[in-house]
Homo-oligomer: A and B are copies of this chain.
Amino acid sequence: MAEKDTIREQIVQAAKKRFSHFGYAKTTMAEVATDCCMSPGNLYRFYSGKLDIAEAIATEDYTKHLDHLRKLAMAPGKSGPERLHDLLFEELRRTYHKLEKDPRAYEMAVVISRERPEYANWMLREERKILVEMMEEAERRGEYVPPDKEFTAEMIQSATMKFRYPQLWSKLTLPKLERELEGVIKLLINGICPQGRAKAA
């Protein structure tokens, strides 16, 4: 079925052009079909709906992003905390630029996360895998790493939620967000009581 995959890719490409040019809502299935020299009905043999095409576009993009994050997570010559720092900053900057500056991308993000709430969870899960891989790598290099890596990864995500969907919270500028993220990372790594003087609550 290499043929089928080629056509799927063609559809994604056509839709991507339309969506990024006119927006998701203003693009009709008929238009995408015409661009692919087929009837609207035929699209449904390749994707089960308009939203699935949008999801495919988002996934293609996000997969590239994940690859990039994976590189940062494994970067040689950097300490664990440095790699965590780079990872979270990359995440913030990507989201910021994608969502604050590009109204088309923002529209698609809103539609997908309203219509397919599970999608956001999938993204978090994928990113968490990278956090765990990062900690495993740190362990291999002989750095200290907490024993419950999966749980720690989850907590890191919890504590940095604000930077993952910055536009939902406030109209903070990127420099302000960066300053805050810097502070939160420091707190996460060292703790409020860095000398270990406090017992856990």
Among A156, A195, A199, A200, chain B packs the most CB atoms within 10 A around the CB of A200
**Interface stretch among A14-22, A51-59, A180-188?**
A180-188
**Do B192 and A194 touch across chains, with their CB atoms under 8 A apart?**
no
**Copies of this chain assembled into the complex:** 2
- Is A81's CB within 8 Å of the partner chain B? yes
Q: With A184-B158, A184-B159 given, is the CB distance from A194 to B197 under 8 Å?
A: no
**Given A155-B180, A162-B158: A198 touches B189 (CB 8 Å cut-off):** yes
Instruction: Given A84-B201, A152-B192, A168-B168, verify A159-B186 contact (CB < 8 Å).
Output: no
**What CA separation (Å) do A190 and B192 show in the bound complex?**
7
Most buried by B among A81, A154, A161, A185: A161
Nearest residue, chain B, Cβ from A160? B159
User: Residue A103 at the B interface, CB < 8 A?
Assistant: no
Q: Which residues of B contact A37 (CB under 8 A)?
A: none
The interface on chain A, measured as residues whose beta carbon lies within 8 A of the other chain's beta carbons, has a size of: 41
For the complex, give the distance between the alpha carbons of A146 and B192 in Å.
Answer: 7
- Whether A144 sits at the interface, judged by CB under 8 Å, is yes
16 more CB-based (< 8 A) A-B contacts, given A144-B195, A189-B200: A81-B193, A81-B198, A81-B200, A81-B201, A143-B197, A144-B197, A151-B183, A155-B184, A156-B192, A158-B162, A159-B162, A159-B188, A188-B191, A189-B193, A190-B193, A190-B198
Residue pairs across A and B with Cβ atoms less than 8 A apart, 14 shown, are A81-B200, A143-B197, A144-B193, A146-B192, A155-B187, A158-B159, A159-B162, A159-B184, A159-B187, A159-B188, A168-B168, A185-B201, A188-B188, A188-B192
